[in-house]
Structure 1
Amino acid sequence: MPSRTLFRLPFSPSSYHNSIRSSSPTAGLIRNHASFTLLPSLRLLPASTPISIRFRSAERIQARRFHDYVRGQTPTGQTYKVDLDSRKIIGRVSSRGTRQYQEDRTSVHTLTLNPEDLRRSLKRHEVDWIPPGLDGGSPKLAGQVGYFAIFDGHGGQHVSEHLHKRLHGMIEEVDRVTIDETIAFTKRLGGYFKRFRGGALREWVGHPDHRDWMTLEERLTLAFLMADQLLLSREDTRRCGSTASLALLHSLDDPVQPFFVANKISLTTAHLGDTKILLCNRHTGKVEPLTERHHADARIEASRLRRIGGGLITDSFGESRWMGAVENTRSFGDGEFKPLGVTAEPEIRHRVINGADYAYMVFVTDGVSSLISNQEIIDLARNAHDPHRAATTIVNFAEDLGAEDNCSCIVAPLAGWGNVGGTDETEARREYRRRKVSSLSTRMQRM
C-alpha cells in the first residue's frame, strides 16, 4: 500500500501560539487530518514554518539502515517523519576561525538497531522497557535511535572526515565475531596496549559465542575500536587524529515519538578527547555536563595512565602534555602516540531522562569551549527561536572573542525547548568580555 498523502502544514501565528499552550510541554506540529490524532510536537518552530510530513500505513514500515529523518507514530498506528537536515529541527554551525582548513565535522542521523538488544541493554541498567509497535517481529520504530556526533580533527581532516562518513554505519553493522580480531590488532599496537584485555568487550575475548546479542556499550566500544583499526591501516590517517563525542537518544515512549518530543529517553554518550556534550535543565537553566575532557591531568585519565609510568610536561602556553607531546589522551588515529596510551576506547555513560525536564543538548568542539564556559554556552542558547539560531549565537560569540581554532556546534532540542527557567546569570559577564576582548590577553579570553 503506497503512502496515503503528502502535505505541508503552514502554521498561522494564532494557531501556533495557541497550540503551545496545551497541557503537553510541546504541541502543534501535526494537526487533525481525517482520522489522524493530534500529537505532541515541536514548540520550537516559528509560526510561518511549513513542515513536510508523510503518513504511511503501519504495516508498510520496515526497518532500514541509517536515515536523515526521524519518525514518529500516532496512537492509531500511522507514522510520520521529520527531516533532520532542517535548520528548524537541528542546529549545526561551523566556523573555520583563523585556521586555513576546517577539520571539524558533525553528523546527525537516525540509526536502526535491534530493539531486543536495546531492551536487554536497558535491563542491565535496571530499566524495564517493552519494545512497542512490533509487528510480527519487525523492528519498525522501536529500534529507532537518534545519533548526534561531533568530531574535532587535528593534524589534518582525514580522520574526522572518515568518522563523519562511516562511524554511524559501523555502529549499526558491527558483528560480535570480529571482536577477537579487533582486540588482537589493538594489542599489537604495543606499549600501553600489550596488556589490553578488551575493556567493555572483555567477556567476549576468546568466546565468540558468549551470547547472541550485544549491549549498547559493547556495540559502541567495538565500533570505536574497529574504526580506529581501519584508520590506522591507512597512510593518510596514521599521522593525524580526531576527538569525538556522540550521543544516542532512544525514545522509550509508546507510541514511539521522536527525541525532541519524547517524554522518556534513554541517553547514551560515547566520548574521546575534549569535545563536549552539555545538557540544559529546563527548570533551572543550569548546565549538566555529560562529558569530561580526556587530558592526562584529568582524574579518570591520570588513573588509567599511571600503569605505564611517564609523566606530564607543561608547555610554553601552560598546557599539560602527556609525555611532553600528547594533549588528548583518547582519540581516533594518532598512530605514533598509541603506544603511549592514547586510546580509542570510549568513555560511555548511560542515563534515562524525562524529555520535558530538559530544553536542549549542545555539542561543541574545543574551539568554542576553550573560550566560553559551560554555563555561558547554555545561556547563549536559552532565548533562541530555533536550534540553528542557538548554534549560530554560540559560534558567533566565540568568534567575537577572537577564536583562532575551528569552532563547531550542534544544538538538539528536547521536549522542554522554549521554556527554560531560571535566569541568564552569565549575560553581564559575556557583554563585559565582548567589550573588553581587544584589551584582554589570550589567557584571559579563555577563562
Structure 2
Amino acid sequence: MKIAPSPIKPKVPPPPGDPSVFYFGVFDGHGGEDCSRFLKENLHTYIEEGAKNFGLGKQEEPDECEKIRHDTQEELVAQWRDTVGGYFRRFKPDFGPIADVEGVLMYAFLRADMDFITKVGTGDEGESAPETIDNGNKTKANPFKGGSTASIALISTATATPFWNPSTSATLITAHLGDTRIVLCSTETGLAVPVTTNHHPSSPAETRRLRRYATAFVSDSFGEERFGVLANTRSFGDVSQKRLGVSAEPEITRREIHPAEFSFMVLVSDGVSATLTDQEICDIVKECKTPDEASKELVEFAEEVTTEGDNATAVVVRLGGWEKRGVGGEGYMGTKDLRAWRRDEALVGSRGRRM
C-alpha cells in the first residue's frame, strides 16, 4: 500500500518571523497495509517528539539533558538486541550527534520500527498467523505483518517566508529506506537531480554492509537480486528478515537550496520509478499546470505504459523555480518522443492481449 501524508501542520500558527518546517512522505507497503498505515499516522509524531525530547535547537543544554539523550539511545539499542537480535547484536547504529536533526531522524526511524514490530496489532481474528521474532534465544509473536519502504523530506526556512517563494533559501533534509524515491528538478538545466538511492542487494554500499553479516544472496526468476525474501535491504517491519541485516536505519541527506535553484521535488513509489526514468518523471511534471495535476499525470502515465500492475504513488512539491520549470535545458521536450513511443507501444500491446 502506498500512502503519502500531508505536511505537518503546527497546532498553533507560528508568530511572524518564526522559521517553518514542512514534512512530506511516501510509504510503500508490502505484505499488507499495517506498516505503511502505521507510518502515515505516526512517523511524523516520532520525529516531533524526538526533536523536543532531545532539545533540538537549544543553544545551551544542561548535563542532565545530555544524559537523558545518551540513556535513551542506549535503551533503544538494548531493546533491539534483546527483541530482534541477529544484525543488531553485532552492529550499533551510528546516531551521530543526537541533538542534530540527523540524529533525531535516525532515532525516530528506529524507535518507530521497534514499536511497530513489538506492539499489539489491530488485525481481525482469523487472519493468517503473525510473523515471529526469533533472535536465537526466544520466539515472540509479532502482531503486525509485512513492512514498508519510506522516503520523507523536511524542508525548513530561516524565517516564516514559505520555501516555495522564489527569493527564499531553504534546507532540505531527507531520510530514506528502500526503493521509494525523491528527485529534484534543476531550474537552470531542467535536469533531474536524484536525492535518494535504492537500497537493493545490488547496491555496492548495501552489499558491503550485508556481506559482513550474511552469506546468501539469491536471484529470483526475473534475475532480480534478493536478500532473504526481500528485494529491499532496508525497510520498516519485515521482522523475520531483521536478524539477517535488513535494517530501518535511514539514509539521511542534507542539502542547502538557493533561491529558485530547483523548480520542484517529486516523491514516488517504485510503481513509478521502476517504470519511468528520473528525467521522464521531471519532464512529465513540467508539462502540467499544478503539482496536483502533475502527481495524477505521473501515476496515470506509469500505469499506462507498464503491464506489471504495481500500485503507483507520486507527490509533487512546488519549489521556488516552479514558474520557470519549462525554461531550463530542453524543457519537457527532452523525453517527449520517448514517452510518445512508450505510450504507442503500450497501446499496441494491449490490443494484442485483447485479441
| Same fold per superposition (TM over 0.5) | yes
What is the CA distance between 1:440 and its match in structure 2?
5.9
Q: Percent identity?
A: 40
The separation in 1 between residues aligned to 2:231 and 2:44, in whole angstroms, is 26
Report the CA distance shift for 1:354/1:241 in structure 2 as closer, same or farther (over 3 A).
same
How many angstroms does 1:356 deviate by? 0.4
Alpha-carbon distance between aligned partners in 1 of 2:115 and 2:16, rounded to the nearest angstrom: 31
1:256 deviates by 2.4
Give per-residue Cα distances to partners, 1:318-351, cap 9 Å, x unaligned: 111013x221110001111100101111010111
2: CA distance, partners of 1:355 / 1:194 = 45
Q: Is 1:224 aligned to 2:114, yes or no?
A: no
Distance in 1 (alpha carbons) for counterparts of 2:18 and 2:205: 34
Deviation at 1:418, TM superposition (A): 2.3
Q: 1:422 matched to which residue of 2?
A: 329
Q: Aligned residue for 1:245?
A: 151
Q: Which residue of 2 aligns with 1:308?
A: 213
Q: 1:139 offset after TM fit, Å?
A: 8.0
Q: 1:222 aligns to what SS in structure 2?
A: helix
Alignment-mate amino acid for residue 227 of structure 1: A
Residue 111 of structure 1: how far off its partner (Å) = 6.1
Q: Which region of structure 1 is more displaced relative to structure 2, 340-349 or 255-264?
A: 255-264
**SS across alignment from 2:200:** coil
Structure 1 residues 409, 192: closer, same or farther in 2, change over 3 A? Answer: same
Question: Do residues 169 (structure 1) and 45 (structure 2) align?
Answer: yes
The amino acid that maps onto 1:422 is G
Alignment of structure 1 residues 199-278 onto 2, 5 Å: 199-201=94-96, 214-234=99-119, 236=121, 238-252=144-158, 255-261=159-165, 263-278=168-183
> What is the CA deviation profile of residues 159-183 of structure 1, one whole-angstrom value per residue up to 9, with x for unaligned ones?
1001101111110002344322211
Letter in 2 for 1:247: A
- Measured in 1, the distance between the counterparts of 2:15 and 2:47 equals 17
Query: What's the counterpart of residue 158 of structure 1?
Result: 34
Tell me if 1:337 matches 2:241.
yes
Distance verdict in 2 for CA 1:384–1:313, change over 3 Å = same
What amino acid does structure 1 have at the position aligned with 2:100?
T
- Residue 108, structure 1, aligned to residue 3, structure 2: no
Larger Rg: 1
Indicate conservation of the 8 Å contact 2:16/2:160, yes or no: no
Q: C-alpha offsets along residues 16-68 of structure 1, whole Å, 9 cap, x if unaligned?
A: xxxxxxxxxxxxxxxxxxxxxxxxxxxxxxxxxxxxxxxxxxxxxxxxxxxxx
Q: C-alpha separation between the residues in 1 aligned to 2:281 and 2:120?
A: 37
SS for the counterpart of 2:196 is coil
Deviations 1:95-118 (A, max 9, x none): xxxxxxxx1100122366xxxxxx
Please tell me whether the aligned partners of residues 35 and 145 of structure 2 are also in contact (alpha carbons under 8 angstroms): no
1:363 aligns with 2:267: yes
Residue 235 of structure 1 deviates from its aligned partner by 5.5
1:401 is matched by which residue type in structure 2? V
Match in the other structure for 1:444: none
Give distance in 2, aligned partners of 1:407 and 1:269: 21
Give the equivalent residue in structure 1 for 2:225. Answer: 320
Q: 2:202 aligns with which of 294, 297, 312?
A: 297
Aligned AA (1:361): M
Q: Which range moved further: 305-314 or 148-157?
A: 305-314
Residue of structure 2 in register with 1:283 after alignment: 188
What stretches of structure 1 move > 6 A for 4+ residues in a row? none
Secondary structure of 2:7's aligned partner: strand
Q: Deviations over 1:259-307 (max 9, x none)?
A: 2116211110000000000000011110000000001111221121121
Please give the alpha-carbon distance, in whole angstroms, between the structure 2 residues aligned to 1:405 and 1:304.
29
1:141 deviates by 5.5
Aligned AA (2:346): V
- Contact persistence 1:187–1:196 (CA under 8 A): no
**In structure 2, what is the Cα distance between the partners aligned to 1:169 and 1:243?**
18
Quick check: 1:399 aligned with 2:275?
A: no
User: SS of 2:334's equivalent?
Assistant: coil
Root-mean-square deviation (CA, aligned residues, Å) is 2.1
- Secondary structure, counterpart of 1:199 in structure 2: coil
Q: Which amino acid aligns with 2:241?
A: F
Secondary structure of 1:186's aligned partner: helix
Q: What secondary structure sits across from 1:258 in the alignment? A: coil
1:61-100 superposed matches below 5 A:
none
**Letter aligned with residue 39 of structure 2:** L
Name the structure where helix makes up a greater proportion of residues: 2
Rounded Cα–Cα distance in structure 1 between residues aligned with 2:278 and 2:349: 20
Change (3 A) 1:440 1:310: farther
Note if contact 1:110-1:144 (Cα within 8 Å) is conserved in structure 2: no
Following superposition, the deviation at residue 313 of structure 1 comes to 0.9
- 1:183–1:140 Cα change, 3 Å: farther
Structure 2 CA distance for aligned equivalents of residues 139 and 313 of structure 1: 55
Aligned: 1:409 with 2:314: yes
Shift in alpha-carbon separation, 1:143–1:170, aligned structure 2, 3 A: farther
Q: Which amino acid is the alignment partner of residue 80 of structure 2?
A: T
In structure 1, list runs of 5 or more residues that go unmatched: 1-102, 113-137, 205-213, 442-447
User: Cα gap change, 1:334/1:140 in structure 2, threshold over 3 Å: closer, same or farther?
Assistant: farther
Instruction: Indicate if the aligned counterparts of 1:238 and 1:334 stay in contact, CA closer than 8 A.
Output: no
Alignment-mate amino acid for residue 418 of structure 1: E
Quick check: 1:182 aligned with 2:86?
Answer: no
How many angstroms does 1:422 deviate by? Answer: 1.5
Runs of 5+ unmatched residues, structure 2:
55-67, 122-142, 351-355
TM-score w.r.t. length of structure 1: 0.64
How far, CA to CA, are the matches of 1:315 and 1:408 in structure 2? Answer: 25
User: Is 1:383–1:418's contact at 8 Å kept on the other side of the alignment?
Assistant: no
